[in-house]
Structures are given as C-alpha cells and as structure tokens.
Structure 1
Amino acid sequence: MLHRILPKSIDITTITQAMLDKAADTLNNLPRKVLGYKTPNEMWAQFV
C-alpha cells in the first residue's frame, strides 16, 4: 500500500522523515474493508 503514496521509482535515500510521517498518517486514516470500513486509527482508539 505504500507504493500508492511513494512511487517505486523513488530513490530511497531521498525519502525524508516528513514524507514517511505523511504516508503513515494517510494509511492510518484510510478506511479498510477488513475493519468494517473503519480506519486503523479508529480501531486503535477503541482498544486504548
């Protein structure tokens, strides 16, 4: 799923922490069918 945000052709040495943080935030707020169309952040909040 990371390749949806960061293309395969990107040089790994040019990836910044800010880019990784943005990618993680995007993926954690993306609804998933397996989670009943809830986001991973919503599921995490239920158990914490």
Structure 2
Amino acid sequence: MRLSARGYHRVLRVARTLADLDGCDRIGRLHLAEALSYRALADDQRRAA
C-alpha cells in the first residue's frame, strides 16, 4: 500500500484501538486488516471527490 512512516503509525494506532475495543492485549491480523481497510476506503473516497 506504499505507506509512509506516518501512515504506518496511523494504521497501527487504529489497529491498537480496534484491539482495545475487542478486549485483546495484542494487535491481531484481523485488527490490522480492518485498520488497513479503513485507510483504503478513505483513499477511494478521496479519489472519487
């Protein structure tokens, strides 16, 4: 996805939040996948505008 360092940390922050909401101590693959999907969705919306 060509993430910059800033983008990488933003995705990790969202994934950490998702893991917290699930009550997990660690970030799992599903949390990362969901965080990346939100980023991809935002990118698609920006391109459409």
Higher relative contact order (CA 8 A, sep 6+): 2
Same-fold call, TM > 0.5?
A: no
TM-score range, shorter chain: 0.3 to 0.5
Q: Greater share of helix residues, 1 or 2?
A: 2
With normalisation by structure 1, the TM-score equals 0.43
